[in-house]
Amino acid sequence: MGKLTPTPGQTVGPFYGYALPFPKDNELLAPGSAGSIRLQGTVYDGAGEPIPDAILEIWQPDAEGNVVQRTGSLVRDGYTFTGWGRAAVGNSGVFTFTTVNPGPTPPVPGKPAAAPFISVAVFARGLMNRLFTRIYLPENEEALAADPLLSSLDPERRSTLIARRDPDGGLTWDLRLQGANETVFLDFESVEGASQ
């Protein structure tokens, strides 16, 4: 058999916006539930214009820092916090989730503790693959300074991963795909034989 030649990659969308959204996909728990907050923001392109057809997915621990392992993400019951959600942005590029402030997860033996964060995956037009990033809470400056990922970044780049606390207790975090103040994105490499 001859050598195989790879075919060109395809962009991620915008067709995914018709198949991936589902009822209450952005509600990790019901709005108004005890401890619930609103996480909102805008997705911008390299020119600073809102992107109207992106989808964000988030994964996070609960308020006590427990990594939730409950089913029910695709059929929301309004009570079960699963730690996962998906939100399509509107025509103005704005996304909204109803979630909780994530608690700090227990440290991995031999590694420094990470500040509480929300993991984010981004699907948007023109992307060959989804992008990964994080949202950190703004309050605990000591934990933020000690976080392994944040401490590896230049101070001006760190700020792209830290949300702003709203007067009502919610969080605002804007995502910039390119250009000035581009959000820091993570590169996950697969290492054969590595444990998760």
Who contacts 137 (Cβ-Cβ below 8 Å, separation ≥6)? 101, 102, 115, 116, 117, 162, 163, 165, 171
Quickly state the pLDDT bin for 193 (edges 50, 70, 90). very low
pLDDT in tens, 12-37: 555 566 667 888 999 999 999 999 99
- Whole-structure pTM value: 0.85
Structural domains of the chain ordered from first start:
15-137+155-176 (2.60.130.10)
Q: Running DSSP on this structure, what letter comes out for residue 74? A: S
Check pLDDT > 50 for residue 58: yes
Single-letter code of the amino acid located at 29 = L
C-beta of residue 96 within 8 angstroms of C-beta of residue 24: no
pLDDT in tens, 125-141: 778 788 999 999 999 89
